[in-house]
Structure 1
Amino acid sequence: MNLAQLRAFHAVANHATFSAAAQALGVSQSAITQHVKSLEDAVGTRLFLRTASGVELTADALDLLPKVRQAILMLDDISARMSDGRSLATGHLAIGLCAPYVAMPILERFTAEHPGVQLEVRLANSKSLLELVAQHRIDIAIATLREPRPDFACDFLVKQRVEILVHAGHPWWDRLQVEARDLPGQRLVTREPGSMTRHLFEAALAERKLELPPHLVLGSREAVKEAVAAGVGIGIVLDQERGFDPRLRAIAVSDFDVVAGEYLVTRRETRSLGSVAAFSAIASAVGKEKVPDRPA
């Protein structure tokens, strides 16, 4: 058993196909196949079942996956400690994002300081990202939470506040704010149920015994913005993610105090290891530069 075999197993487990794993690691598919076969021979059990769409992990593979990822991170960490300071010459880091606008300055600095570490980035809503972290499918999530989750290591980055998005032809375009009672009757364009933005907004409505059922449900923040810009309805967005689209304007709901935090979420056992620790340190530094307030 060696590191190449462990990396190949981890890549196939995360990408669900041998070809995608090979592409992610920058090696041939035959090399991935050989490494996985050698690892299966070493542990004495089959790790993957081939399907029409790719592969499925066996029960033994599911049990092995978190141990393998922790071992890889520990070896990367040892290598960094024994080399020049704590620099990471190589490695692989899987990151999940629900808020690209918050994450991009962190990614930019990390790639500048650790160019040898290959990044794999996924976009999903906060609920899905936490599931991926728990399943060891990603190492780090930058997710929107009302409060830290006790089952993960959660580092606060920045406060987020829910705002209303309107288009240029909307009667509210010139207003700085509206009241919650103004919202019923509007056509709402929103994200899927797993979206924390939607959850926060609907919880605030429920507290005031107001109803605003979705007129259109879309699977991404960008799709919501495009629908609002096209005049389909009003949207909801977190203030750190509103962007700079001149077709859109964000306005506050004066009697909503709907806030949450953007958190860097990891598993506790890997928080201080290798590329996870390096990314967490940079995220903390970038967050402090923004001088954020903690969510209420």
Structure 2
Amino acid sequence: MRANPYQISAFTQSAREGSFTRAAEKLGVTQSSVTQHVANLERTMGTKLFVRRRDGLELTRAGRELFAVSDRLRNLEQLIEEKVANYSEIAAGHLSVVANAPRPAMPVIARYATLFPRVQIEFTLVSWTLAMQRLHERAVDVAIVTEPVIDEQLYSLPLASTRYHAYVRRDHRFARRKKLSLRDLAEEAVIVPEDGSLTQRLLHQKCGELGITLTRLVKTTTFPVVKEAVLHGIGVGLLLDDSMSASSELIGIEITDMNETYANYLLAPVDKRELRFVRSFIDVAREVLDIGNEVEGRDQVPLSRNRKTAK
């Protein structure tokens, strides 16, 4: 018995949405039709493709392997549909975006939402590790990541470079300092994003090289939470200088031991790049961030060749 296109379509959309109900809505069919197609596909394969949970669907190992192929097929179908329809304007749809810091993603999203108000944008802040994982699992359309590991499966567009600063409140005893070393922070409460973040890995690497132990490390979730923690006087925040909107209450201080620059990249699975929503998002990013087409020739160079920290 062979799988038919309806079964593959039902499975792929369910995997994308994490829900049989939402998949049925996107496909314009009943939920029972979707669940029946998926059940028949599972019988054909002799294995479960989803773990059914109260909060949605989770792909099994077999499901992830099939989705890696079927999602590419669905992308090709979407490209064909777009070519045939010959859209004169972007219609309603959905675009999922993740980033490991809110900026420079936010200005691009704001401009995109203004230009294409009928496109639903799902934006999530996640750790560096989770952003790369979701890209390779094809769980998102676009990611904006600092110092990513790029391979042949990913389209990449270099954005601006950034560097780390120590941020303190204006009433902090370090507020008048122009520079700080990591040794100056050894006894301070140092606030960093969650495990799996690029910040934590770089900080641990630098401290290891210098033989420094930070005795009061405070782990939060994302960069905005780090900012809030600093504003509430919890300690010194370690932040990329373009990771958040400016605040008159915070002072950024150069860290002499972490003065390297780090590149932000816009990433997408290679075969999703020409999808209308993804392509238009890339175009908007070029406009908002003032990126010329001349960078196109450089956008496939894997950073992992020369950046140990990206591993």
- Classify the TM-score, shorter chain: 0.7 to 0.9
Contact kept in structure 2, 1:162 and 1:236, CA below 8 Å: yes
* Unpaired stretches in structure 2, ≥5 consecutive residues: none
Please give the per-residue CA displacement for 1:234-264, whole angstroms capped at 9, x wherever unaligned. Answer: 1100000242233322111245323211111
Normalised by the length of structure 2, the TM-score is: 0.77
For residues 92 and 182 of structure 2, the distance between their equivalents in structure 1, rounded to whole angstroms, comes to: 51
How far residue 134 of structure 1 moved from its aligned partner, in angstroms, is 1.1
Tell me which amino acid in the other structure corresponds to 2:225: A
Q: Which residue of 1 aligns with 2:91?
A: 89
CA shift, 1:286, in A, is 2.9
Kept in 2: contact 1:95–1:122 (CA 8 A): yes
Measured against aligned partners, the alpha-carbon deviations of 1:16-62 in whole angstroms (never above 9, x if no partner) come to 34356568x497xx823423423554784564343455434345532
Match of 1:189 among 180, 188, 191: 191
2:33 is aligned with 1:31: no
Structure 1 pair 66–91 and aligned structure 2 pair: CA distance change class (3 A) = farther
Question: Conserved in 1, the CA contact under 8 Å of 2:164 and 2:238?
Answer: yes
Which blocks of at least 5 consecutive residues in structure 1 are unaligned? none
One-letter code aligned to 2:237: G
Partner of 1:237: 239
Report the more deviating stretch, 194-203 or 269-278. 269-278
> Quick check: 2:101–2:222 contact (8 Å CA) kept in 1?
no
Give the whole-Å Cα distance in 1 for the aligned partners of 2:162 and 2:265.
10
Name the structure 1 match of 2:105. Answer: 103
**1:142: which partner in 2?**
144
**Superposition pairs of residues 131-170 of structure 1, within 5 angstroms:** 131-145=133-147, 148-149=150-151, 152-170=154-172
Within-5 A mapping of 1:1-296:
6=9, 9-19=11-21, 25=26, 31-38=30-37, 40-41=39-40, 44-45=44-45, 47-84=49-86, 87-145=89-147, 148-149=150-151, 152-289=154-291
Tell me how far apart the structure 1 counterparts of residues 115 and 78 of structure 2 sit (CA, whole Å): 16
Q: State the shift of 1:131 in Å.
A: 0.6
Q: Distance in 2 between matches of 1:12 and 1:92?
A: 15
Deviations for 1:265-291, whole angstroms, at most 9, x for unmatched residues? 22233333332233223323333359x
Q: Distance in 2 between matches of 1:58 and 1:209?
A: 43
> Whole-Å Cα distance in 2 between the matches of residues 151 and 248 of structure 1?
40
Give the AA of the match of 1:197: T
Q: 1:159 Cα shift?
A: 0.8
Distance 2:153 2:162 in 1: 22
Q: Are residues 151 and 77 of structure 1, via their aligned partners in 2, closer, same or farther at CA, if it must alter by over 3 Å?
A: closer
SS of the residue aligned with 2:283?
helix
Measured against aligned partners, the alpha-carbon deviations of 1:194-213 in whole angstroms (never above 9, x if no partner) come to 11122223333333333324
TM-score normalised according to structure 1 size: 0.81
**Against the structure 1 CA distance between its residues 259 and 207, is the aligned structure 2 distance closer, same or farther, given a 3 Å change threshold?**
farther
Question: For residues 193 and 39 of structure 1, what CA distance do their matches in structure 2 show?
Answer: 36
Taking the aligned partners of 2:51 and 2:255, their CA distance within structure 1 comes to: 52
AA aligned opposite 2:226: V
Q: Is the 8 A contact 1:147 1:261 kept in 2?
A: no
CA shift in 2, pair 1:267/1:237, >3 Å: same
